[in-house]
């Protein structure tokens, strides 16, 4: 912005150059007047539209030229200034009489259109020039070196001579020669001039012998770095604009020495490193713009009181830290733009001191504080306030919505709570945008919001509002857009509706509406209405279809059952109607197809059974009809295909069996027909006249190729996948005209009909996977996607395959029987995804394959490849997945892999690689999967001298090698993906390639394509590993799946406690090593752990009771260690089989032993537990002592206490006689005898 003001100042300056050049005191020199007239009249040299001219149109030979507009003369009548800016001049060349004005000191030809003419070299004749302004004049080509003759130049402005239609611009071949003689130059504007040279040549050229340079403006010049420190010589600089370049360098600290600097713009210049804080503290600096340098980091210093900053712009950088409270000292600030950085902490209260502030944008940071303590009412000049996408909380203060000049208020995507404050009379009438979406706001939306007469866009979505004052306005207000979706709005009010509030676009989706809001009846300007995903039931009223201006209506995702027929003579402007995913049943009414303006109709996902034929003589403008996923059965009526305007028809996902024969003499506009997932067995050949662009017949019951396809000459997309087609692929299928996509996958095709000439057919996408094809290998010109995987192709890969594959393509020959070497021509194709896995390929990996900069995926697993991995990965390598597992590769891990800075998956398991742990790979911060299992790696895995971290690492498999030494614990703490996984929506790990088609047998149209989509293919990474004691092929790696496998190595020492901090770990296998010591109790923190194998080590001590917290544990193996003590009970640990604990002589208890009370037996006079002599099981002893004491007291009392015996006998007889009453009569005397004896 300051640059524009400065250019405007220069423009005004040149138009009033008479202030610096002596004014007119005499008549114009005749020769110079003739030159100007010739300049005006010569059509070969000058063309202009007189209607756009304000100066040339006034030139007249009868008046003195010194009086002409745009002409300035000296005292002796010489023309010294010429301002023809904005005159729509169209042509000039070296013959122009303009160059005869030898006394010219100022020339301004800015804002004309010279139609790509080069700057005339004759301009070098004007040696008296002080000011040359040719900005935005349409010049192209090279800047003439003759400009270097203009040694008196003070201002040179050649900026913005760029033609966007031809992507051409003016160029400076040798900047040093161009300006070497311009020693008086003070202002240099070369914006959008392509400056040739290497490195910092430009910098050295400018900094030498330009002591008076005050303005340096070189934006968008293609400059490269570094920025040389010699610029410090230019101590007079007060404006620097180096934006939109590619320096790839840090900002020199010497910039802080420019004591006169007022303007500094370095935006979008690929700067990196730490920005010097001192530059912010230059007292004269008014504007600093560092935006768009995503690798530039730094923080703000403390701001003293003496600064002049007016604009502080650092958005889209990596600036971080707290915003200092001293920012309140910058009282001249009018603009603060800090969006999309990493600032944290609170919004400083001192910001209320910035009373001149007009723009405040702090969005997209991590500010975490309330804002209610700030006196926002002091910011009386604030026009834009954007605090969105932070972590701000608390209530929204009323002072924020009461600012008198506010135009845009955006507080969305925070954690604000409470109610929206009332808008007072002091609120700005200029507010046109109010965004409060994605917060925790609740209650009623205040009626006073309707007092904002300038409001156009209102977004309150994703909160918990309960009502909106649609009936509240007492004066007219018109809103262009209102989004209230994802709230708790009910709209139970059905009283008198106000017509003062008029809305053009209204979104009420994802609320709790149970009926159509009554206020909608009075909406006369509403053109778009979204009521989707509510709880609206019953009938769709006819009045909503008849709203005068309504063009688009979305009622999907409700519980609507029927449509009310329209009123007689009613009209509808509706062009788009979406009723998908409702409960519509029965017959589709024919009147809906007759709505005159209706273009798009979606009735999918309902329970519709039949289609009612249209009314006689009715016309339909319908171009798109979607009826997929209904209950349509039987025959497809022919009239639906003959709707005159119908272009796209989707009947997929029904139970349709056949297609009715076509109507005679009917015309068809249909170009896209989707019938997949039905029960079709074919299409009648009488439809051969139908010319389609897109045809989907996947997942039907086709057994042969439909014969009507022979006459399809416009077909670009054909899907016959997942049918029952057998036998040969006919030749005619390839010659139907240019086809973009052909999918014949998941059938039972066996061969291709010969002859098949590879050079004849042009197809961009061919999917033949999952058939039984063998024999001839088909190739097509310009193929971008070829998938022949899971077939029976044998022989070698054609040596010229690279000649048929387009750049940026996808090639999969996986799971066939190909043998021989990988042809080097495959490197010529520069494919994005190359999958040759699961074949019998042999030989070495081609050197050119790893040198390519285009590959995203190279998958060569499960072949017979030998040799070494080429160590020639280049800088700029884009590789994301490299899978060479299950081959016979030897040698070492190539160190050039560090050049692949985007590498996510490296799998070289099951080979013969002999090397130490590749610590150099730790510089790859993107690595997620590292598999080195079953090789000959050796040594320690500690990397003490490495600064890099694998913060997204989720799988590391080092099993079956010869690694030794301690297991580093601190290293694992840097694996943040295992320490804490904050990904709420796990995705498949792999590489996305576009364009392509689905690679699953459930057709390219499946809504759940297992990682693939119709418009693109998502290549899935796969690994083979041990999980839960079983060797499994993991072919769908979620980003939340985490695994550590160090099994079958020679690690020793204790298991580090830090492993327990891996709270998101899914599987841990440390078996087959020499670990000693106890199992860390910290394992209890790994609550996500499902598989734990510590078998075949030398672990001792007891099983930690903290294992009870591992509630997800499904597999446990602690066998063959030296563990002792009782296996914990009352947890799922005791539910594992005894094989999980065998081989630990000191362990006992279920499930290992059936007796839960007794320790293991004594063998040879000693306990089976090595520590049994020192252990007393008090649980068993207490039970024994209790039983003995209780039994002794009972028997002793019976033998030695006569009263006790007497009571005992009496009680026993009473109990027996109550149970068996008949004994009373039989043993009554005996009972008396017992009593007598008891007395004795």
- Asked if pLDDT for residue 725 goes beyond 50, the answer is yes
> pLDDT per residue over 859-897, tens digit each?
999 999 999 999 999 888 889 999 999 999 999 999 999
**Once rounded to an integer, what is the mean pLDDT over residues 711-727?**
91
| 3-state secondary structure (DSSP) of residue 108 | strand
**Once rounded to an integer, what is the mean pLDDT over residues 246-272?**
94
| pLDDT attached to residue 613 | 82
Q: How far apart are CA 773 and CA 752, in angstroms?
A: 8
Cβ neighbors of 955 (< 8 A, separation 6 or more) are 928, 929, 930, 931, 1023, 1025, 1037, 1041, 1042, 1043
Q: Which helix (H) or strand (E) holds 14?
A: helix 2-15
Q: Report residue 1233's pLDDT band, with 50, 70 and 90 as the boundaries.
A: very low
Q: How far apart are CA 392 and CA 371, in angstroms?
A: 7
Least confident stretch, 10-19, 499-508, 1025-1034? 10-19
- Asked if pLDDT for residue 1011 goes beyond 50, the answer is no
Paired tokens of 979? 């320490």
| pLDDT attached to residue 671 | 92
Q: Are 184 and 153 in contact (CB under 8 A)?
A: yes
Query: What share of the chain in percent tops pLDDT 90?
Result: 53
- Asked if pLDDT for residue 426 goes beyond 70, the answer is no
Q: Are 683 and 692 in contact (CB under 8 A)?
A: no
Q: How far apart are CA 328 and CA 949, in angstroms?
A: 39
- Asked if pLDDT for residue 1168 goes beyond 60, the answer is no
Q: Report residue 169's pLDDT band, with 50, 70 and 90 as the boundaries.
A: confident
| pLDDT attached to residue 304 | 94
Q: Are 912 and 886 in contact (CB under 8 A)?
A: no
Q: Report residue 1203's pLDDT band, with 50, 70 and 90 as the boundaries.
A: low
- Asked if pLDDT for residue 1163 goes beyond 60, the answer is no
| pLDDT attached to residue 764 | 79
Paired tokens of 763? 């197809």
- Asked if pLDDT for residue 1137 goes beyond 70, the answer is yes
> pLDDT per residue over 514-572, tens digit each?
999 988 988 999 999 999 999 999 999 999 988 989 999 999 999 999 998 887 777 88
| pLDDT attached to residue 1231 | 47
Q: How far apart are CA 259 and CA 1117, in angstroms?
A: 71
Q: Report residue 734's pLDDT band, with 50, 70 and 90 as the boundaries.
A: confident
Q: Report residue 494's pLDDT band, with 50, 70 and 90 as the boundaries.
A: low
C-alpha of 572 from chain center: 40
Q: Which of 36-45, 886-895, 1165-1174 shows the highest mean pLDDT?
A: 886-895
Peptide bond into 890 cis (omega under 30): no
Q: How far apart are CA 424 and CA 442, in angstroms?
A: 20
| pLDDT attached to residue 614 | 80
- DSSP letter for 177, please: H
End-to-end CA distance of the chain: 124
Mean pLDDT score across all residues of the chain: 84
Helix axes 1202-1219, 1228-1239, angle to 10 degrees: 170
Q: How far apart are CA 548 and CA 596, in angstroms?
A: 13
- Asked if pLDDT for residue 1234 goes beyond 60, the answer is no
| 3-state secondary structure (DSSP) of residue 188 | strand
| pLDDT attached to residue 649 | 95
Q: Which residues pair with 748 in a beta bridge?
A: 726
> pLDDT per residue over 964-993, tens digit each?
999 988 777 788 888 875 544 444 555 444
Phi, psi angle pair for 905, to nearest 5°: -130, 125
> pLDDT per residue over 824-856, tens digit each?
888 887 788 999 999 999 999 999 888 888 888
Q: pTM value?
A: 0.77
| pLDDT attached to residue 765 | 85
Of 844 and 1149, the structure prediction assigns the larger pLDDT to: 844
Q: How far apart are CA 605 and CA 607, in angstroms?
A: 7
| pLDDT attached to residue 447 | 85
The CA dihedral of 4, 10, 14, 16, to the nearest 10 degrees, is 90
Least confident stretch, 220-224, 630-634, 1129-1133? 1129-1133
Q: Are 518 and 494 in contact (CB under 8 A)?
A: yes
- Asked if pLDDT for residue 100 goes beyond 60, the answer is yes
- Asked if pLDDT for residue 1181 goes beyond 70, the answer is no
- The 3-state DSSP composition of the chain as helix, strand, coil percent (nearest 5) reads 20, 25, 55
CA angle, corner 455, sides to 451 and 458, nearest 5? 105
Query: Could you write out the DSSP letters of every residue in 806-853?
Result: EEEEEEE--SSEEEEPPPGGGGGG--SEEE--SSEEEEPPPHHHHH-S
Phi, psi angle pair for 175, to nearest 5°: -65, -40
């Amino acid at each position: 912005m300051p640059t524009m003001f400065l250019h405007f100042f220069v423009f005004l300056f040149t138009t009033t150059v008479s202030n610096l050049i002596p004014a007119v005191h005499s008549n114009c020199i005749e020769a110079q007047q003739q030159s100007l007239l010739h300049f005006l009249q010569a059509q070969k040299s000058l063309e202009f539209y007189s209607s756009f001219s304000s100066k040339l149109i006034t030139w007249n030979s009868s008046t003195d030229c010194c009086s002409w507009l745009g002409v300035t003369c000296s005292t002796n009548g010489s023309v010294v200034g010429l301002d023809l800016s904005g005159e729509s001049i169209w042509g000039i060349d070296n013959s122009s009489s303009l160059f005869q004005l030898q006394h010219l000191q100022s020339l301004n030809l800015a804002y004309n259109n010279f139609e790509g003419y080069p700057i005339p070299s004759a301009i070098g004749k004007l040696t008296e020039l002080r000011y040359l302004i040719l900005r935005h004049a349409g010049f192209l080509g090279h800047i003439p070196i003759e400009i270097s003759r203009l040694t008196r130049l003070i201002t040179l402005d050649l900026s913005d001579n760029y033609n966007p239609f031809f992507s051409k611009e003016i160029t400076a071949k040798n900047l040093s020669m161009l300006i070497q003689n311009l020693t008086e130059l003070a202002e240099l504007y070369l914006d959008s001039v392509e400056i040739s040279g290497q490195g910092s040549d430009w910098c050295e050229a400018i900094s030498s012998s330009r002591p008076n340079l005050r303005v340096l403006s070189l934006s968008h010049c293609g400059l490269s770095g570094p920025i040389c420190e010699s610029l410090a010589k230019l101590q007079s600089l007060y404006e620097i604009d180096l934006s939109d370049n590619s320096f790839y360098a840090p900002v020199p600290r010497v910039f802080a020495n420019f004591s006169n600097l007022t303007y500094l713009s370095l935006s979008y210049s690929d700067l990196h490193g730490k920005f010097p804080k001192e530059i912010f503290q230059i007292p004269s600096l008014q504007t600093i713009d560092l935006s768009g340098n995503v690798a530039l980091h730094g923080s703000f210093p403390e701001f003293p009181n003496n600064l002049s900053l007016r604009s502080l712009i650092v958005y889209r950088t990596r600036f971080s830290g707290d915003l200092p409270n001293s920012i309140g000292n910058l009282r001249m600030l009018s603009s603060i733009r800090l969006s999309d950085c990493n600032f944290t902490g609170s919004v400083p209260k001192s910001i209320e001191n910035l009373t001149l502030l007009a723009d405040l944008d702090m969005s997209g940071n991590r500010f975490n504080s309330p804002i209610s303590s700030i006196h926002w009412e002091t910011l009386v000049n604030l026009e834009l306030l954007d605090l969105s996408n932070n972590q701000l909380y608390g209530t929204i203060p009323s002072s924020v919505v009461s600012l008198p000049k506010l135009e845009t208020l955006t507080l969305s995507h925070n954690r604000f709570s409470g109610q929206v404050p009332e808008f007072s009379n002091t609120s700005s009438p200029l507010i046109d945008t109010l965004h409060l979406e994605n917060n925790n706001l609740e209650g009623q939306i205040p009626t006073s919001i309707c007092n904002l007469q300038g409001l156009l866009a209102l977004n309150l979505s994703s909160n918990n509002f309960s009502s909106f004052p649609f009936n509240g306005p007492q004066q007219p207000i018109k809103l262009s857009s209102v989004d209230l979706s994802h709230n708790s709005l009910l709209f139970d009010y059905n009283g008198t509706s106000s017509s003062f509030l008029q809305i053009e676009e209204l979104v009420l989706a994802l609320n709790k509406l149970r009926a159509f809001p009554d206020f909608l009846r009075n909406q006369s300007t509403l053109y778009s209405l979204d009521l989707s995903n509510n709880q609206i039931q019953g009938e769709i009223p006819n009045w909503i279809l008849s709203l005068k201006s309504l063009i688009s209506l979305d009622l999907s995702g409700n519980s609507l059952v029927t449509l009310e027929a329209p009123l007689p003579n009613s009209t509808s402007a509706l062009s788009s109607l979406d009723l998908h995913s409702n409960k519509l049943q029965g017959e589709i009414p024919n009147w809906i197809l007759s709505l005159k303006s209706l273009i798009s109709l979606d009735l999918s996902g309902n329970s519709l059974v039949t289609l009612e034929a249209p009314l006689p003589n009715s016309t339909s403008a319908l171009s798109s009809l979607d009826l997929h996923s209904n209950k349509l059965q039987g025959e497809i009526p022919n009239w639906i295909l003959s709707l005159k305007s119908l272009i796209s028809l989707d009947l997929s996902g029904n139970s349709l069996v056949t297609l009715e024969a076509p109507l005679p003499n009917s015309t068809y506009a249909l170009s896209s027909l989707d019938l997949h997932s039905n029960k079709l067995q074919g299409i009648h050949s009488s439809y051969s006249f139908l010319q389609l662009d897109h045809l989907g017949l996947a997942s039907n019951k086709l057994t042969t190729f439909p014969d009507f396809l022979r006459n399809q000459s416009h077909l670009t997309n054909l899907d016959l996948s997942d049918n029952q087609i057998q036998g040969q692929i006919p030749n005619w299928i390839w010659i139907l005209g240019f086809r973009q996509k052909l999918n014949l996958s998941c059938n039972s095709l066996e061969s291709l009909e010969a002859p098949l000439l590879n050079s004849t057919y042009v197809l961009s996408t061919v999917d033949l996977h999952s058939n039984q094809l063998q024999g001839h290998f088909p190739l097509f010109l310009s193929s971008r996607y070829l998938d022949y995987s899971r077939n029976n192709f044998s022989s070698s890969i054609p040596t010229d395959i690279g000649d048929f594959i387009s750049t940026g393509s996808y090639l999969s020959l996986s799971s066939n029987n190909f043998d021989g070497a990988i042809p080097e021509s495959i490197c010529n194709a520069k494919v994005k995804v190359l999958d040759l896995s699961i074949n019998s390929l042999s030989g070495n990996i081609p050197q050119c394959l790893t040198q390519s900069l285009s590959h995203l995926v190279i998958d060569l697993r499960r072949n017979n490849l030998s040799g070494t991995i080429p160590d020639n990965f280049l800088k700029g390598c884009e590789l994301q997945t490299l899978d060479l597992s299950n081959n016979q590769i030897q040698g070492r891990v190539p160190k050039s892999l560090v050049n692949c800075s985007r590498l996510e998956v490296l799998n070289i398991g099951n080979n013969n690689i002999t090397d130490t742990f590749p610590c150099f790979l730790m510089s790859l911060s993107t690595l997620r999967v590292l598999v080195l299992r079953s090789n000959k790696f050796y040594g320690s895995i500690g990397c003490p001298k490495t600064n890099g971290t694998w913060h997204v690492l989720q799988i590391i498999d080092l099993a079956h090698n010869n690694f030794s030494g301690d297991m580093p614990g601190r290293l694992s703490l840097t694996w943040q993906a295992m320490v804490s996984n904050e990904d709420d929506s796990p995705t498949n790990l792999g590489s996305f390639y576009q364009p392509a088609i689905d690679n699953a047998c459930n057709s390219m149209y499946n809504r759940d394509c297992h990682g693939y989509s119709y418009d693109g293919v998502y290549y899935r990474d796969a690994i083979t590993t041990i999980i839960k004691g079983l060797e499994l092929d993991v072919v769908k790696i979620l980003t939340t799946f985490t695994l550590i496998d160090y099994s079958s190595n020679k690690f020793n020492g204790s298991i580090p406690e830090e492993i327990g901090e891996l709270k998101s770990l899914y599987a841990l296998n440390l078996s087959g090593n020499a670990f000693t010591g106890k199992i860390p109790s910290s394992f209890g923190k790994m609550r996500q752990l499902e598989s734990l194998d510590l078998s075949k080590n030398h672990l001792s001590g007891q099983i930690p009771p903290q294992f009870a917290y591992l509630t997800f544990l499904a597999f446990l193996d602690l066998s063959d260690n030296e563990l002792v003590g009782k296996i914990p009970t009352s947890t799922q640990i005791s539910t594992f089989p005894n094989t999980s604990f065998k081989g630990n002589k000191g362990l006992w208890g279920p499930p290992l032993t059936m007796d839960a009370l007794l320790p293991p037996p004594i063998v040879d006079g000693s306990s089976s537990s090595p520590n049994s002599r020192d252990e007393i099981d008090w649980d068993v002893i207490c039970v024994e002592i209790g039983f003995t004491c209780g039994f002794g007291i009972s028997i002793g009392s019976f033998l030695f206490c006569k009263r006790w015996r007497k009571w005992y006998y009496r009680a026993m007889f009473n109990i027996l006689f109550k149970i068996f009453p008949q004994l009373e009569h039989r043993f009554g005397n005996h009972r008396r005898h017992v009593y007598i004896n008891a007395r004795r």
